[in-house]
Amino acid sequence: MFVGIARFTLFLNEQPHSLKEKRSVVTKVREALKNRLQVSAAEVGLQDTWQRAAIGVTCVSSDKKVAEKMLDEVRRLIESFPQVEITEEERDVDAW
């Protein structure tokens, strides 16, 4: 079994004026990841900043290449949101 984990640091392009506006955007991204790609996703950092967010994602697969491909799809889906820009990405796929 292989576990893929990734952390994406995002910059919110539309300059939210409150944490409520920020969380609205982050929630849309997070829910899209869960619903479209069947991965686990959560806001894992920068909760008190208005213009930045950190989203953690994990997936499980029986094949390492499949797990890597799933994380690539996660990146593409996040990039499809015009409201956010990925500024940093950390990822790893390990046997477990």
Q: If we measure between CA atoms, which residue out of 59, 55, 79 comes closest to residue 69?
A: 59
Q: pLDDT of 47-84, one tens digit each?
A: 888 889 999 999 999 999 999 999 999 999 999 999 99
What's the angle, vertex CA 83, arms to CA 81 and CA 88, rounded to 5?
80
Helices (H), ranges, 3-96 = 19-37, 64-79
- pTM beyond 0.85, yes or no: yes
Structure tokens at 96: 């477990």
Q: pLDDT of 35-51, one tens digit each?
A: 999 999 999 988 888 88
